[in-house]
Amino acid sequence: MIDVEIADPQKMREAFDPDGQLTTANTPKLVDQVTPAQLKKLSILLREQGFDTPESKHGFTSAAINRDILSAKELTKDEASKVIEILQNGAADAD
């Protein structure tokens, strides 16, 4: 038998604003999001490695963390650290 916990309906309603949009103000933070300092560092390092379009930046970053992203703001703190480390070690130049 599988034990399934059903979410409290009231808490589920509170997680959405009046327009039906999920609001982070009422939802728990599950992971640490990328910091402004990490975003700045990523931008500089990606540009230095020749990733000068949003598509190339997001493509490289998605490959480095093994999941698709559309914006660096979607990264977790740990994912950003991983990409920064890869870029600092020159892995972007590897063939």
| Terminal-to-terminal C-alpha distance of the chain | 49
Residue 72 lies in a domain: yes
Give domain status of residue 1, yes or no.
no
d(CA 77, CA 81): 6
Contact by Cβ (8 Å): 2, 44? no
Q: Are 70 and 58 in contact (CB under 8 A)?
A: yes
54 inside domain: yes
Contact 61, 82 (CB under 8 A): no
Helix H or strand E encompassing 73: none
Predicted local confidence at residue 22, as pLDDT: 60
- For residue 18, being part of any structural domain is answered with no
- Identify whether 12 is part of a domain: no
Structural domain contains residue 7: no
Which residues in the chain show pLDDT less than 70?
1-17, 20-30, 91-95
How many domains does the chain contain in total?
1
**What residue has token string 């604003």?**
17
pTM: 0.64
49: containing domain: 31-93
2 lies in some domain: no
